[in-house]
Chains A and B, each alone.
Chain A
Amino acid sequence: MIELSPIRKEILGVIEHNGRIDLKELAILMGTDEITVANEIADMEKEHIICGYHTMINWDNTTNDKVSAMIEVNVTPQRGVGFDKIADRIKNFEEVNAVYLISGGFDFMVLVEEKSMRAVSQFVSEKLSTIEEVSGTATHFVLKSYKVHGTILEEEKTDERMLVTP
């Protein structure tokens, strides 16, 4: 684990929400030069602090079908096969978006994205449940997304302030 310097914190704060910002602009916002910013970013990529630059897509606004589900998974770890080993098996499936080991009533939370409910069901019944250590699953389909990765999915807000104020 690496403690973040103030400039790293500030860089991450910006690119977390705007991965497309160019170096020159980022350097201006940080009050430093491009080389410093480029080096910090390169280092953070190497250190796996920055793990990728994704685009956030609201598929609901397109005609593309996309079904998301959150699946509670209960497992029975075997001797010599801990939770990590089981997670390895689950995480490698294409359909799986995220896997978390969690505390509480069940062991793993698996996030799945597929084209249809049928495809999700198929994945659960044919691939997930058939893993030897998996003892049970409960699938929750997502009906609507309100907020994803800290971003509220809604129309842009208009500025309702008065145009000129003291």
Chain B
Amino acid sequence: MRNPLSDVVIEMKPSGIRKFFDIVSEMKDAISLGVGEPDFDTPWHIREEGIYSLEKGRTFYTSNAGLKELKVEICNYLKRRYNLEYDYNGETLVTVGGSEAIDIALRAMVNPGDEVIIPQPSYVSYLPCVQLAYGVPVVIDLKEENQFKLTKQELLDAITDKTKVLVLPFPNNPTGAILEEEYLRDIAEVCIEKDIFVISDEIYSELTFKGRHVSIAEMPGMRDRTILINGFSKAYAMTGWRLGYACGPQNIISQMTKIHQFAIMCAPTTSQYAAVSALKNGDADVEKMRQSYNQRRRFLMSRFKEMDIPCFEPYGAFYVFPNISKFGMTSDEFATKLLETEKVAVVPGTAFGDSGEGFVRISYAYSLERLKEALGRIEHFISTLEK
């Protein structure tokens, strides 16, 4: 029999997180700090709207690009929060999570051999999605001394004649880094000068703890070369609803809609109805959750300081990314040992790219009680290492 598989798929490395998941799930009574989704339930009024839509029998397909009502609310929201103007009709596409938007944006924009710049550490799917689009991933290793921000020089150094797209993942998973306006200005300048497009993954945009999030699409000249990706998972604790969206210039969005139409048809209808309520009535819920995350973030930073574990202060998402290199172990060894001896699961930084070596990702999408217990165990673990 011939090999049934494609070369591209065989070349793709499995997610580094997968391996760790398999170990953790074997272990009883482990405390996990390894989750990349909110611990809150979706606010009730949003769930209620989903239930209501089911009761009303709204169980049909929606139009490919999404419910009109939802697209209009998405555009209202982007105008309200970021002063960005998109036409609901033609410049807005509702997707199955931000993940789908990343995939189809790349497939719509990348020709075989085009280079796509991916700053790392970052979310696990950018690189494989570039490969699936027959593009060539070019990784920028972000640095701790820059607080894992992308600098103008780093970007310039990575650009070649073949560069077409920059993936911009801020606020960042796993580092928690944000990219402030002055950095965005520099990056925008480079993109315009070098004629590069941006896929800006802003899924954590509502979770920033130092002023409001600024989108690269707000920078002069960038709106028409940016695909802005966002969604409901993190801001409204709606991961399981699988709902995201992409906004951008009509010429790109219409081609993304074509792929979406053939691959997916439309995003889940129930989720779309529920999401309308999220955007219309969810601001207070988001604020409440942000406040909780911020308190936990401060708690963790204070504990790291007590334990003398170096950690730059992250101002976004719900992760901290402490530097564990002083313990003389790789990230993988550290995480494995911590799990074996103290039964606390954290994710090795290397799951998010080679530049994550020396770091672990700790999620604070957990109650304070859980965090306290887990940090107590980590403290104990470290004290045994230092002896």
Contact = CB atoms under 8 A, between A and B. Distances in A.
Interface of A: 10, 13-14, 25, 28-31, 159, 161-166
Interface in B228-250: none
A163 B288 CA distance: 25
A162 B36 CA distance: 9
A163 B15 contact: no
B67 interface: no
A161 B35 contact: yes
Contact of A165 (B34, B39, B368): B34
B368 to A, nearest CB: 8
Interface in B112-127: 123-125
A21 to B, nearest CB: 9
Interface of B: 15, 17, 20-21, 24-25, 30, 32, 34-37, 39, 123-125, 173, 288, 291, 294-295, 298-299, 302, 345, 347, 351, 368
Q: Which of A29, A30, A159, A163 has the most CB of B within 10 A?
A: A163
Contacts of A164: 17, 20-21, 24-25, 32, 34-35, 345, 347
Nearest to B365: A161
A28 B36 CA distance: 24
27 contacts: A10-B291, A10-B295, A13-B291, A14-B295, A25-B299, A28-B298, A28-B299, A29-B295, A29-B298, A30-B298, A161-B35, A161-B39, A162-B21, A163-B21, A163-B32, A163-B34, A163-B35, A164-B21, A164-B32, A164-B347, A165-B17, A165-B21, A165-B37, A166-B15, A166-B17, A166-B123, A166-B125
Nearest to B302: A28
A5 to B, nearest CB: 14
A31 B297 CA distance: 10
Contacts of B24: 163-164
A56 B38 CA distance: 27
Nearest to A165: B36
Contacts of A163: 21, 24-25, 30, 32, 34-35, 345
A99 to B, nearest CB: 30
A29 B351 contact: no
A25 B295 CA distance: 10
A29 B32 contact: no
